Structure 1
Amino acid sequence: MLTEPANAYARRLNTWDAAMIVIGGVIGAGIFITPATVAQNTSSGLQVLILWAIGGLLTLAGVLCYAELGARRPQAGGIYVYLREAFGLLPAFLFGWTMALINYPGSVAAVVTKFAVYFCRALGVSRLYELPVAVGAIVFIVGINLFGIRAGAWMQNIFTVLKVMAIALLVIAGMMLAHGHLGLVLAVDTTRPVSSWAFAGALLPVLFAYGGFHYLNDLAGEVRNPQRTLPRALGMGMVGVVVCYVLVNFAYLAGLGHAGLATSIAPAADLMQKLFGAHGATVIEVGIACSTFGYCSIAIAGGARVLQTMGADGVFFRATGRVDPRTRAPQIALAVLGLWAIVLTVSGSFNQLLNYTTVGEWLGHVFGIGTLFWYRKHFIDDPAPYRVPFYPLLPLIFVITVFGVIVASAIHAPGDAGMSLLIIALGVPVYYGWQWWSRRRS
């Protein structure tokens, strides 16, 4: 089964747009909240910084692998396309079933709800408006993306710049609060002994905060000169994210200390309020609202391309496989994903779904990177415009380390990991049921 032809999408994204998608797809709400969870599972500021550095380096290794995969197959759909070509349609469907139908819309619902909370809080309006604001944000994002990738890219670039400015403000505030006592950042918190399993398990929320770097590969069919642009944008964008994440955690530790970070519910707001009072907390709430809104825009755009590819392959509704010839946007797939995200937002069922699919997401990355070995074996003589350095070491490090983190997480939280595997397994009868139904209709 073939997807839409390569020219169904228009290549309108330049290197700047692509790098902004990488940064915007990774930086959402996680860096403003997750550091507290990481601190709770560590006993010193040094351990916190080590975890964020390890997560960043590991993600960079994965990004370099995705750069080669994207350069080899610059098509919409990303991991779904790689899995389909290397391992067949069923494994690709299981990834799409888990991600495009559950994780993508679930993450949009979760993040847009945080957007609404911070948006209403910054404006000082009642919490009664949070749900309408969240639904309105999804409708607005889908509406902009219906006009094509350029319209979505303009909006995304603006919000990515705003979220980077918010992170820069946090870093400045943390340094100002340190008062020259930066050595306290690395101090040990003797009141919080942590087991080695908890420390290893703390890498999963770090990886979750680094997640989203694959969205650019979902949009690879719309990148200009993809063999050059994809590796450059992925590398530039991810290096920028790692620098931002390590610096902002350093700022949290400098301003709040390890104990303060571990007990904080909203470390970004606490840091700004400590220095600037209530006005500081309001400013960072606006920054978080911009960050979460920008993430939702990328997740909807990327997820819709996966749905479109699945529809074109005949493993989802055929109508979603269409690309509008005028706007070059997968309008029906965008509408379906947006509507499903709204349903999850209104129902409030997204938090558990995200817990259940986080393991599945990173398993998808493990097998996605694993396709690189298949491509190297079966296309050994094909000219590759970009090759991941230190092959096969970097992909092996990524695959083995991430798989180890998944195992540690499963030991730490077996219920969530088990449900994740169950959701993936449920995709098998759905796939064969869909195939049977499609043949009967034909």
Structure 2
Amino acid sequence: MLTEPANAYARRLNTWDAAMIVIGGVIGAGIFLTPSTVARHTSSGAELLILWAIGGGLTLAGVLCYAELGARRPQAGGIYVYLREAFGLMPAFLFGWTMALINYPGSVAAVATMFAEYLCSALGLDGPAFVKPVAVGAIVFIVGINLFGIRAGAWLQNVFTVLKLLAIVLLVITGLVLAHEHLGVALIGQPATPASPWAFAGALLPVLFSYGGFHYLNDLAGEVRNPQRTLPRALGMGMTGVVICYLLANYAYLAGLGHAGLAASDAPAADLLRRLFGERGATVIAVGIACSTFGYCAIAVAGGARVLQTMGADGVFFRAAGRVDPRTRAPQVALAVLGAWAVVLTLSGTFGQLLNYTTVGEWLGHVFGIGTLFWYRKHFIDEPAPYRVPFYPLLPLIFVVTVFGVIVASAIHAPRDAGMSLVIIALGVPVYYGWQRWVRRHPLA
């Protein structure tokens, strides 16, 4: 079995750090924008809240499964490691090819651009000429901080996770103040034909997308103290906090804007605060969204680099990327590679389509990643398991079957994006064999 070098990483993350990574990895820009998309696919506020509750419950089921996987294999690389051990190196490479080389840097580029747009708007820097330089500067800064090690990166993401939580608190308070105007109508909504199961599943996809990112802590599991205890605790606490924040935020949107107003809004967070505080409120929430997106980028860079480093150590990526600096205990080459590629995508503006093309691949990765839990339970019956997912095998089955159904629904709704996602995954097969041949000819590369 392939393993990472012993003691390559230093276990410096405590429970607080780990929980902040879970919260910060999930909460990006989605909760500030996606509720309006979900509202357009629902007929009432009650239906909208049910969707967010279902998405939260489903994600919690997946998180509990990840807690057991992380406790069993507390190594850097997360899903890549589980797939490698259960199914072999090529399936793991296909995940890494799709995520670490496309989705992760694409996400960083997209969210860094969003950070720059909101920050420039808040500072009154009008015009697209400012956005790309600010986005690139943010990526370079984040990579630079992470080069000094996980403690420096953890300090950065802790600060910005607290700031994004304060932005959500402001949203909720604003919604409660405005609650007397719209809440009754918001929850009842207008009479409408009930959505078909396929339409309901399709509406669940953006909800699940907003709940995505909980896997970043598993990518960083090699740097968590007492991981068998800390990982399950941090995943459970962090994701429970996210679900509560999301339900309260959606309640606030419905209370302040009404269901119809939420569905009609392109920027619900700004519209909500504008109702109570005027343009100053919209500026404040723009700063809050900028903090939230910046914090997400910090975690995505750190997590994605660990996947690249593990791939490099396994010989399916440049071996230099597999090295961990002995002084800082950071994967400096992997960080530089991921950051440089994210900068290229930012400057080229191609990240949006890449993300659309890899969303299906990301959730397929979650399906197969959690599917490895059945393999571990079968092949390691006598292995000590400090944490076991409750209600096994029901919870992992619910997650796998439901998420796969949502993937199918999204493929029916957007066959081009789903098809391109499968094409990108399939292209990884010849790349894998070509890389293996190249490594045999250049063993020291």
In the superposition, the TM-score normalised over structure 2's length comes to 0.98
The match for 1:114 is 114
Which stretch has the larger CA shift, 394-403 or 38-47? 38-47
2:56 is equivalent to residue 43 of structure 1: no
Structure 1 residues 172-187: aligned runs within 5 Å: 172-179=173-180, 182-187=183-188
Aligned CA distance change for structure 1 residues 281 and 324 (closer, same or farther; 3 Å): same
CA contact under 8 A between 1:220 and 1:230: conserved in structure 2? yes
The match for 1:76 is 76
Q: Distance in 2 between matches of 1:89 and 1:196?
A: 37
The match for 2:389 is 388
Q: Distance in 2 between matches of 1:367 and 1:4?
A: 22
Read off the aligned partner of 1:209 and give its amino acid letter.
Answer: S
1:179 alignment partner, SS class: helix
Alpha-carbon distance, 1:284 to partner: 0.4
Alpha-carbon distance, 1:193 to partner: 7.2
Read off the aligned partner of 2:349 and give its amino acid letter.
Answer: G
The match for 1:140 is 141
Per-residue CA deviations over 1:149-196 (Å, capped at 9, x if unaligned) read: 000000110000000000010011011111265322312234787544
Read off the aligned partner of 1:36 and give its amino acid letter.
Answer: S
Unaligned runs of 5+ in 2: none
The match for 1:209 is 210
The match for 1:89 is 89
Read off the aligned partner of 1:340 and give its amino acid letter.
Answer: W
RMSD: 1.2
Q: Distance in 2 between matches of 1:385 and 1:193?
A: 45
The match for 1:165 is 166
Alpha-carbon distance, 1:126 to partner: 2.5
Figure out how many residues of one structure are paired with residues of the other and give that number: 442
Per-residue CA deviations over 1:65-111 (Å, capped at 9, x if unaligned) read: 00000000000000000000000000000000000000000011110
Q: Distance in 2 between matches of 1:290 and 1:197?
A: 35
Per-residue CA deviations over 1:225-244 (Å, capped at 9, x if unaligned) read: 00000000000000000000
Per-residue CA deviations over 1:309-333 (Å, capped at 9, x if unaligned) read: 0000000011000000000000000
CA contact under 8 A between 1:78 and 1:219: conserved in structure 2? yes
The match for 1:344 is 345
Which stretch has the larger CA shift, 184-193 or 282-291? 184-193
The match for 1:302 is 303
Q: After TM superposition, which residue ranges in structure 1, 4 or more long, deviate above 6 angstroms?
A: none
The match for 1:55 is 55
In the superposition, the TM-score normalised over structure 1's length comes to 0.98
2:281 is equivalent to residue 249 of structure 1: no
CA contact under 8 A between 2:182 and 2:258: conserved in structure 1? no
2:381 alignment partner, SS class: coil
2:252 is equivalent to residue 233 of structure 1: no
The match for 1:26 is 26
Alpha-carbon distance, 1:274 to partner: 1.0
Q: Distance in 1 between matches of 2:47 and 2:423?
A: 33
Unaligned runs of 5+ in 1: none
2:366 is equivalent to residue 365 of structure 1: yes
Identical pairs, percent: 84
Alpha-carbon distance, 1:26 to partner: 0.2
The match for 1:188 is 189
Alpha-carbon distance, 1:211 to partner: 0.3
Alpha-carbon distance, 1:40 to partner: 1.0
Q: Distance in 2 between matches of 1:324 and 1:2?
A: 20
Q: Distance in 1 between matches of 2:383 and 2:430?
A: 37
The match for 1:316 is 317
Read off the aligned partner of 2:33 and give its amino acid letter.
Answer: I
Aligned CA distance change for structure 1 residues 396 and 200 (closer, same or farther; 3 Å): same
Q: Distance in 1 between matches of 2:22 and 2:239?
A: 7
Aligned CA distance change for structure 1 residues 258 and 182 (closer, same or farther; 3 Å): closer
Alpha-carbon distance, 1:258 to partner: 1.0
